[in-house]
Amino acid sequence: MKTLSKYIYYKCYRMGAMTVTSKKIILIPALLIFFFCSAITPALALDIYWKPANDENATYSQRPYANTNRVDIQVNVKKAKTVEVNNEEAIQIGSTDSELWLFRDYLLKPGENTIKVKVEKRSSSKKDKDSDTETDDLTITVMETPASGSFRYFESPGSKLTAFDKSIGLKLPKDTAVIDSQGRAAFDQSVSIQINTPPTNLAPYYLPLSPLYSIHSASSAYYLSNAGELTLKYDTSTGNADTDMITVLYAPPNYQTSLLQLKMMQKINSYNHTADSVTVPFNKFGFGHYLVARVISDFNDFSLNKTGGLDLSWARPYVMALWTKGVMNPLEKYPDGSYVPDNYFGLTDKSGKKELPVTRIEFISMLGRGLRLPFSASVAQTHIFSDMQDLGVSDVQYLEAALKEGWIPNSLTINEKLYFHPNDPLTREDACAFMARAAGFSLVSQDQATQTLKAYYPSDYNSADNWNRPHLLACIQNGLITTTNKGYLEPNKQITRAEAAQMIYSLMQKNGYL
C-alpha cells in the first residue's frame, strides 16, 4: 500500500501539478480505488471460439456472424475442473492438464445467440479446497439471408422445416420419420438444407431464379416414411409474370453440386405458382438438389408453318406449360427410329407436315403427373400388365398407380394375361375413359349417355362402346374434347401429341393444378 501511494505521489510530483493540499486529495481516492478493487476477484476473459460443425476444414474464430445454425464451441482455459456451455458440459480434449475443451454440434436459433461459458477452476491454494468459478460469453448472430454456403440442420424432419427467412419450406405429414435401407427408423433422424450457387451451364435453356437448395439426410441410403410438399421462393426481379414458364429442376443427392450438369437435372411437376414461390411434390426419395428456373428457350415445332409445315402455334401455350412443369417431355425418337433434334419437341414427323399421335403410356404418364397421382417410388414393380418390359421405371409406376386408382377400365384377359398396349396410339374414346375417371366426373347412365350422343352425333355414336359413352359425354360437357365434323363423334380417331397437351392442360386448369 505504501509503495502504491508513493508511486502515485511520485508521478504527480514529477508532472509539477501537485501541491501539499492536492497530494492529500489525490492520495485518498487512490486508496479507495485500491481497496475496492482488492475486494473483487478480477473476471478472467475466457478464450471462446467457434466454427461451423458441417465444415471440417473451417478454423475456429470469434466471428460475430454465422451462416450455419450448427457449430462447435471451443474454450481454451488453464486449470479448469469443468467447463459448461449454456449449462451443458463440454469435453476436455487430451490429458487432464489440457487447456482445450470442446462442445460439439451446438444448435443455434435464427438471429442473435449468446453462448455463456462457465468454468470451474481448480484452486491454486492447497489450503482452499473450493474451486474458483469464472464466466464469460460470446455472441453469434445466425444470418437468415439465403446466401451461398448457408447451412441449416434439423434434428428430425418434423411436420414442417423452414429456413433462410422462409425461402424454402418442406411440409410433411405428422410422424414422418427418416427410414434406413432396412426399412426401419434410422438412428440419425437429422435433415440438413444447404444453399449453393446455381450451375452456370443452364443457358440457353434456363435462367436460374433461385439458389441451388440441397436437402440431405445423414446417409444417401435414407429416405422418408411419407411424401410431402416443397415450396421454394424465387427472384421476381426479372419482371416477367408468366408463371407458366417457371419450372423446378431436380438432381439426385449423390451428384456433387460443383460438378452438376444440366443433363443430370430433370424437371419435376410444379404447381401453386404465385408471384414469388412455387410448390413441387417431395416424394419419399426426394432428397437431392432443387433449383427454380425460368424457361427461356423455344421449339421449332411452333414455327413450322414458316417453312411450309403445319401451323401448330396454337399448341404452344399448352405444350410449353406442360413441358415447363415436367408433365410432358420432348419425343426422343421419330417412328423410324431416328433421334428428334434438340430444338424440336416432336409434335410432327420429320417432314413437319404430319402430326404424331400420343401413345397410351405417354398419355397415362402425363395424366398422372398433371393430376399429382401419388405413387410409391420403388425399384420393384408388380408388372400387372404383361407388356411393360420395355417401359421406363417412371412410366410403369404411373401406369400401375393409375390402375390401382381405377383410372384404367377393366381389360380382357388373353391367355390369362392382361395387356395394356402401351405404345399403341390413343383414341378419343380411350382418352375420355382415362380422363373422366381421373377427374372424378359425375357420370350418367349408359342409356342416358346413348340418348344424348345419338341426338348430337347420329352418324357414328354407335361406334363407341356402350359402357364408355358416359365417359365420352362427360368429357364433351367439360370441354376436354371437341368435334369438327357436324354429327360425327369420331370415337376411334387418334389423338395427336398437341391435342393431348391441350386436354391435360385443360384438365389441370379445371382442377386448380396450374
CATH number of 110's domain: 2.60.40
Largest CA distance in the chain: 130
117 and 175 housed in the same domain: no
Do 366 and 448 lie in a common domain?
yes
Q: Do both 176 and 314 map to the same domain?
A: no
Domain finish residue from 254, 280, 295: 295
**Are 72 and 208 contained in the same domain?**
no
- Name the pLDDT band for 361 (thresholds 50, 70, 90): very high
Number of domains into which the chain is organized: 4
CA distance 312 to 302: 5
Task: Report the percentage of the chain scoring pLDDT > 70.
Answer: 87
Phi, psi for 230 (deg, rounded to 5):
-120, 125
pTM here is 0.80
Same domain flag for 85 and 104: yes
What is the pLDDT at residue 213? 97
Domain boundary among 142, 159, 194: 142
Task: Indicate whether 408 and 451 sit together in one domain.
Answer: yes
Residue 366 CA from chain centroid, whole number: 22
Same-domain check for residues 29 and 53:
no
- What average pLDDT does the chain have? 87
Q: What is the pLDDT of residues 264-309, one digit of tens each?
A: 899 988 888 888 899 999 989 999 999 999 999 899 999 999 999 9
pLDDT at 98 over 80: yes
Are residues 241 and 359 located together in one domain of the fold?
A: no
Grid coordinates representing 341 are: 433434334
Q: What is the domain-level CATH number for residue 215?
A: 2.60.220.30
434 phi and psi angles, rounded to 5 deg:
-65, -50
pLDDT of 19 strictly over 50: no
Domain, as residue range, for 436: 300-510
Q: Tell me: do 269 and 351 sit in the same domain.
A: no
Which of the two residues, 332 and 129, has the higher pLDDT score?
A: 332
Whole-number pLDDT of residue 16: 41
Same domain, 290 and 306: no
Are residues 82 and 11 both part of a single domain? no
pLDDT at 200: 84
> Are 192 and 281 part of one and the same domain?
yes
- Domain end (from 238, 270, 295): 295
φ, ψ for residue 156, nearest 5 deg: -155, 160
Assign residue 17 a region (left: φ > 0; alpha: ψ between -120 and 50; beta: otherwise): alpha
207: cell is 435462367
- Measured on CA atoms in the order 428, 472, 316, 250, is the torsion positive or negative? negative
